[in-house]
Structure 1
Amino acid sequence: MQDFTDQTQRMLDYYGLFQDPFGDQADATVFSGAGERLEVAEHLRHLLSFSPQDCLLMAPTGGGKQAIAHQVIRLLDDEWRVAWIDGGDIDRLDSASRELIGQLGLGLKTDGDTASLYRNMADATAQRSNDGENFLLVVQNADLLSPDVQTWLQSMRTLAPRTDIRLRQLWLASSATAIAQSDNDDHWYSLVLEPFTAAEAAAYLNDRFAGSGQANGVPIKDSDIARLNDMAGGMPGELNQVVRDYLIAGTFKTTERKQGFPLTHVLAGAGVVTLIVLTVLYSNQGGEPDVEEPVAELALPEPTDSQAIESEVQQRLAEAVARVEARREEAAAAEAEAADQAETAAATTQPSQPAPSPQPAAQASTQTATPATTPTPSAPAPQPATAAPSQGSGLMANAADNEYTLQLVGVRNRASVESILAELPNQERYDIVTSSYQGRPWYVLIHGRYSGPSAARADIANLPARFRDQEPWARTFASLRNN
């Protein structure tokens, strides 16, 4: 199987692109104003420059918050100094203060008590603002900040002599649930990014392709863009993934056969296939097909070249659906875990109080409510019929719903996956799960039990090479039992 780089190069060559429309370089050089994103960026720039409020921008993972924040920075004048931190990486006050002092170039020592340090930071930014400089802090994953760090970062506005010479702040979050004082309209201007409509998705993709060398627009029909956008939930980040898989599926068979099969034929078949995949998605029957499965096993009569390409597109789109769901599941789990940690920390520890006047922490203690957590629905009881370990390994029988495993292979023929398993060492670490895909049995080979998605992905490097090359993905045992 080709690796990620080879597949990308096929796509670039086929469409005459000089860079991946969905890669990091495009992220850094192309900003799409689709869905009024440009207006949002300009509005935030204006508020940060002139309003006494700081800004809170909210959208689910993949919603485009970071792209807008980078555009806001581009719109700022040269006299602005910007610090960017990730709430998922900052878990201590000293870490936050070191990042602020270093990135903003404040030249302060980090020793001394917390109250004095943050007061000195506020005084330094105020003094230099009076001299013509401006300071901005962007907090990515702000809802993952601990309550203590949140309190002190928010105190910077009250420690400043005037709000117009304060450290301005732009926080990016999935929601405001875990953010203290987010409902204080005097302190925060909150804005929620809406998902793309089909027309906005088409405009967004057009900008990405134009910025990558495709002058003739998006090489996908509007009707297919609409379906792909539905699959991505209108989220730009997810749309990048599913469209990329879609395009690679269309180019893979064509270039491999070394003949110019018309793209319109690929898309015509893909339109029908996409409807099938969406039906699977909405009925929560999303097993992940395996790209190595023989075409004959899909029960297609005497497949022609065009039918083989449609089958490849179908598999790629189904993989895209599965990965989108996996990413959403991981993001939801991470948010729930962060909210639980924040609630525990708020209940067991009292945030440090800023010393002399003004007293921002005192304000925080009266205005900050314990972050609410959205109850996690109870996972359905395990269904023994869906777990069919061929070696009696017991992974499905013994693992908790919230534990993770790696899905390696999915096929129609159970004998095929059993033959694969028979050749593997340490068979007790594998299991075969019987699920359903498009109304027919689907047999999935899984590996291992892990406490979280990061631990699962870290173990991919230890898998046999035949699986590493197929991009295994982490999923919960609950999701397997629900198939």
Structure 2
Amino acid sequence: MSNGFDEVFSAVNNSDELLEHYQLNHDPFSARTPGFKFFTPKRRPVLAELHHLARYGEQMLVVAGPLGAGKTLLRQALVASSNKDAVQCVVLSAREHASEAALLAQICQALNTEQRDVASLLAKAQQSELVGIQLYIVIDDAELLESSAISMLSEIAEAGSFAPRVFLFVDSEGLERYSSVLNAEEGSSIHVVELAALGLDETREYLAQRLEGAGQGIELLTDQQVDEIHQRSAGWPGAINQVGRQVMVQAMHEGPVALGSGGSRGLSSKLLLAAGLVAVGIGVAWYLGDKAPAEPERTVLQLPEPVVEAQVGVPEPVAPPAPAHNAGQSGVQSDAAAPVAAVDSVPVVVAPESSPEVAVAEEVAAAEIAPQPAPQPEPAPQSQPAPEPAPTQATVPTPAPPVSRAEADEPATVSAAGGPHRSDWYRARSGSEYVVQLLGTRSEQAARSFVSKHPGVQDVGYFETTHQGAPWFVVTQGIYSSRQAAQAGVSSLPAALRDSKPWPRSIADIQAGLR
């Protein structure tokens, strides 16, 4: 039977991209997966029927189904579930032993009979039956057996209650040849068990079992994708594996987070990985380049409101503050234009007079620099004009009210409070809740940049976990009570995020992998 699901996406040279994108432990759709369990719906009744007929029947048992129906897995389950203390199994493949002579020789060799003939084989089976051991002869790919080999196996199966039980696993297309061969022989009969395809719900359960074995769940697939897989595979397990992998790879490459698109899909995974690392390096350099070095901070000292003038060298009382236009004439107008004045730049001009007067000027200057503002002095009484002009007087401009450092940091504090959720938030949530996973990346900086590029998306967070032994940062959105609610929440995301194929993920799964 030809298989219509052998198409392979050229973008995937190996399963590394699929594993990294969906954070899987292994390829869930490979033929031999670690820890895979036998899928029981529509197969457990068949397995129980085979064991019952082997114990109480004397016919040759034929299990038929198309390619990918699960015959090989059922054969493995039959051997594994047999009582090792009461059953001895001889498992062969007709691909290697199709003729009567080759098949009989191999069976006799496995049972260590004295001769390579049917009589010696039946004598060995009778000896085993006396000690409580039943012989099973299990033939896979039995549609390839020659007609004489089929007749010989039927003769062995019908030799009596002690005879070995014969199980043949046959492709559906070769079943008619069995009927024609055995009908030509008088008294020969077989019991045929035909495998059935899985229904839609059973297909969903089968996919869930495969994905859970790889460390994820059915949340990776939407209802539409599950329906597509069931329709294209017709419910046969082998085809479900192939189509399921194709659907997930297609969704991975259609999203913007995929490594390649279009003509670059033919490139090797190592080249794509190198290109991704270069892109990450450019992004980090661009991010760091936007941060210009901050200007050095300057300490601002607030001076008292009133302007105190010091006059030295005249015996008269201190004159009242000069009018505003005098300050402009004293050459200090340029300093008043600056928003911040350094304390060291305030000049104090004194005349070379006696030392007591200099001490007075130093006390006045000390009062100006004091950190506590002095109370505003009362205006001095108007004095008579002096006969000689007073020396040049130094005035200190009133600086603008300084901005405290706590006030300058307040916007940053508010922004940090409204930032993305972190690991503690996920630990505090209930394991039955769900979020929508938007992005997975090796770089924490890339996760932060992704969040900053979508400021309009509410309730965003990211956490750190491990994937394949290395740090892995995952960005999520929202918090939902069920997987269906999370799936519905995807439709409310911006179009750019919906195109990246976000998918629901349970809080319990996240909590299990938090670092």
TM-score by length of 2: 0.45
Rg comparison, structure with higher value: 2
The structure with the largest helix share of the pair is: 1
